């Protein structure tokens, strides 16, 4: 079946511009996560959506970052006034459920969007 | 101090070798533990969960030491296809699947 898809796969933008990154989770997955991976670093949690609950935004690095999940499916991560330190691979993941103690918690990752801010 | 620390490597080993990776985590409240594999310029994929009693999946064995806050991964009879970065991952308590990733250990298996 179809996995998690992300678009665009690569994005080059000028410092100060806004960017939107899109994630299509696996159909039926209720939980959706955004991470970013900087060169040589581990994945950094950004935000988590679970069903209709309020998202956990605790990982967003600044108020320039925001994310939405419309209709419980597609999610968009927006970065306003991009800075060079925003350059990274932005990864989206989804899981059937969000609770660790339940079966189906494994997170499946999309291929990522490689963002370069010049 | 990073929440999850790993030796970045690289570990260069010949085919057939046994190799072990270690990982330490700082938060004693961590509840769940995993090893993910990430190929170059690819997304991470779950390799195996790590249970308190230790667990094995084919050539891969994972161990957890909660007292020392230490996780290990042992790969026996290394294959060329095992070449990748291995990510140590923990989940804090909190009722949901918020994952904390280590920066990864790179493994290169050569003929």
- A57 reaches B (C-beta below 8 A): no
- Among the listed residues A63, A89, A88, the one whose alpha carbon sits nearest the alpha carbon of residue A78: A63
Please determine, for residue A29, whether its predicted confidence score (pLDDT) is greater than 80.
yes
CB contact under 8 A, B43 and A99: no
Q: Using CB atoms and an 8 Å cut-off, which of residues 35-64 of chain B contact chain A?
A: 42-46
User: What is the pLDDT at residue A96?
Assistant: 83
A contacts of B45 (beta carbons < 8 Å) = 109
Instruction: Give per-residue burial for B26-51: e unless 16+ CB within 10 Å, then b.
Output: eeeebebbbbbbbeeeebbeebbbbe
Q: Which residue of B has its CA nearest to A47?
A: B98
Q: Across residues B65-94, what is the average pLDDT?
A: 92
Close Cβ partners of B82 (under 8 Å, ≥ 6 residues apart): B75, B107, B109
CB A95 within 8 A of CB A103: no
Q: Across residues A61-87, what is the average pLDDT?
A: 94
DSSP conformation letters of A70-97 = GGGS-EEEEE-S--GGG-EEEEEEEES-
Predicted confidence band of residue B13 (pLDDT cuts 50, 70, 90): very high
Q: Which residue of B has its CA nearest to A59?
A: B98
Residue A16's Cβ-count burial label (10 Å; 0-12, 13-18, 19+) is exposed
User: What is the pLDDT at residue B31?
Assistant: 84
pLDDT tens digit string along B24-51? 999 998 888 999 999 998 999 999 988 8
Predicted confidence band of residue B54 (pLDDT cuts 50, 70, 90): confident
User: What is the pLDDT at residue B69?
Assistant: 95
């Amino acid at each position: 079946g179809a996995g998690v898809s992300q678009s665009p796969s690569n994005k080059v933008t000028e410092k100060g511009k806004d960017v939107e990154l899109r994630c299509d989770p696996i159909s039926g997955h209720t939980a959706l996560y955004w991470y970013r991976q900087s060169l040589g670093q581990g994945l950094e949690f950004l935000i988590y959506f679970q069903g209709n609950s309020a998202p956990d935004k605790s990982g967003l690095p600044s108020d320039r970052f925001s994310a939405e999940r419309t209709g419980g499916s597609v999610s968009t991560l927006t970065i306003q006034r991009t800075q060079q330190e925003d350059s990274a691979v932005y990864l989206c993941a989804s899981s059937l459920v969000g609770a660790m103690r339940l079966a189906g918690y494994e997170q499946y990752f999309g291929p990522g969007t490689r963002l370069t801010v010049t | 101090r990073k929440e999850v620390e790993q030796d970045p490597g690289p570990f260069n080993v010949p085919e057939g070798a046994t190799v072990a990776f270690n990982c330490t985590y700082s938060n004693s409240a961590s509840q769940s533990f995993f090893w993910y594999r990430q190929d170059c310029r690819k997304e991470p994929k779950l390799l195996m969960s790590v249970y308190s009693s230790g667990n094995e999946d084919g050539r891969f064995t994972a161990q957890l030491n909660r007292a020392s806050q230490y996780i290990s991964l042992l790969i026996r009879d290394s294959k060329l296809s095992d070449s990748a970065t291995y990510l140590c991952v923990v989940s804090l308590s909190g009722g949901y699947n918020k994952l904390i990733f280590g920066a990864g250990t790179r493994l290169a298996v050569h003929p």
